[in-house]
Amino acid sequence: MALAAGMRVRARALLRAGARLRGAALGRPEPAAGGGDGARRFTNLRVLVEPDPAAGVAVMKLKNPPVNSLSLELLTELVISLEKLENDKAFRGVVLTSDRPGVFSAGLDLTEMCGRNPAHYAEYWKAVQELWLRLFLSNMVLVAAINGACPAGGCLMALTCDFRVLASNPKFAIGLNETLLGIVAPFWFKDTLVNTIGHRASEHALQLGLLFPPAEALQVGIVDQVVPEDQVQSTALSVMARWMAIPDHARQLTKAMMRKATADRLIKQRDADIQNFVSFISRDSIQKSLQTYLEKLKQKKG
């Protein structure tokens, strides 16, 4: 047996950043507590939180039609929802899933990165960073119940969880496919992937923008379990029960020990990372690529 005093996640600094983000980003009051089943239930516009205080678990469902794009508003609501649960001692675990089976999340919202001004790009990127830090360093157990397609930013969210359950539908592929759009996953996306599937598989997957269907996803290790579509959430809750059996303090210190170095790489250069993003996304060539891509998407729908 062995033990050691672990490291502490700078929770307070993160909370302050979250507060600033919330105010600056939307300038609107906090979502009202709502719902009919007790004081703890609260429904945001784009994040549906279904609490089970007896079990200590909340199911958090993304609800941003049509494809759960990570708009600035969704990012902000996600951070607020996580913060609330993190600060409520009744909750020790969160199952992250989609309210719309078929799409877990399509990832970052292209319309936030196209035809806006640099200040907007900077605000948006800061919100993306904030969500990643919140999820990646959460003291709660996070289990992803991936009940739909899970590319790019959707995959990033899943990778921050402690365990990933994917529906066996071969249409539901998962991966960081940024290069297919002519763009590049930032280093902290890459680090999260390398931690999960190793260096070689990451180099291969990131260069080719690979999206892994369920069987391949399980084999490469980007998900931990594949189950029939109608069992994704129940399996996630069973997995959660096993994790909840571990003493919180020891588990949290262990998680922080495993993740601190990776998180610190971004924390130490958040501003530079934002500047990099703004400078990259503002290029004419990138703006044109995104514009073309968005127009194609519109034509498909029309």
The footprint of a second copy (CB under 8 A) covers 1-6, 107-108, 110, 113, 128, 151-153, 156, 162-163, 176, 178-187, 189-190, 194-200, 202-204, 206-209, 221, 224, 242-243, 246-247, 249-251, 253-255, 257-259, 273, 276-277, 279-281, 286
50 vs 187, beta carbon nearer a second copy: 187
Nearest alpha-carbon partner for 189 in 200, 201, 178, 180? 178
Tokens representing 57 are 């678990």
Beta strand residue intervals within the chain, DSSP E: 47-52, 57-62, 69-70, 93-98, 102-103, 107-108, 141-146, 148-151, 163-167, 174-175, 225-227
Q: In the complex, what is the shortest distance from the CB of residue 37 to a second copy, in angstroms, rounded to a whole number?
A: 31
Strand-pair category, 93-98 with 141-146? parallel
Looking at 44, 68, 147, 177, which residue is catalytic? 177
Q: In the complex, what is the shortest distance from the CB of residue 203 to a second copy, in angstroms, rounded to a whole number?
A: 4
48 vs 75, beta carbon nearer a second copy: 75
Looking at 73, 77, 123, 178, which residue is catalytic? 178
Active site residue 68: no
Active site residue 153: yes
Active site residue 178: yes
Nearest alpha-carbon partner for 136 in 14, 4, 5? 14
Tokens representing 66 are 């049509």
Looking at 21, 70, 78, 108, which residue is catalytic? 108
Q: In the complex, what is the shortest distance from the CB of residue 293 to a second copy, in angstroms, rounded to a whole number?
A: 9
Q: In the complex, what is the shortest distance from the CB of residue 222 to a second copy, in angstroms, rounded to a whole number?
A: 9
Please give the full DSSP string across 203-242, using - where no structure is assigned. HHHHHHT--B-HHHHHHHTSSSEEE-GGGHHHHHHHHHHH
* DSSP letter (8 states) at residue 65: T
Q: In the complex, what is the shortest distance from the CB of residue 46 to a second copy, in angstroms, rounded to a whole number?
A: 18
Tokens representing 35 are 């719902």
Q: In the complex, what is the shortest distance from the CB of residue 30 to a second copy, in angstroms, rounded to a whole number?
A: 27
24 vs 297, beta carbon nearer a second copy: 297
Q: How far is it, in rounded angstroms, from Cα 106 to Cα 115?
A: 20
Q: How far is it, in rounded angstroms, from Cα 162 to Cα 244?
A: 12
215 vs 258, beta carbon nearer a second copy: 258
30 vs 203, beta carbon nearer a second copy: 203
Looking at 153, 154, 175, 209, which residue is catalytic? 153
Identify the sign of the CA torsion 65, 175, 134, 250: positive
49 vs 94, beta carbon nearer a second copy: 94
Provide the residue type at 207 as one letter: Q
Nearest alpha-carbon partner for 140 in 167, 160, 165? 160
Residues marked active site are found at 108, 153, 177-178
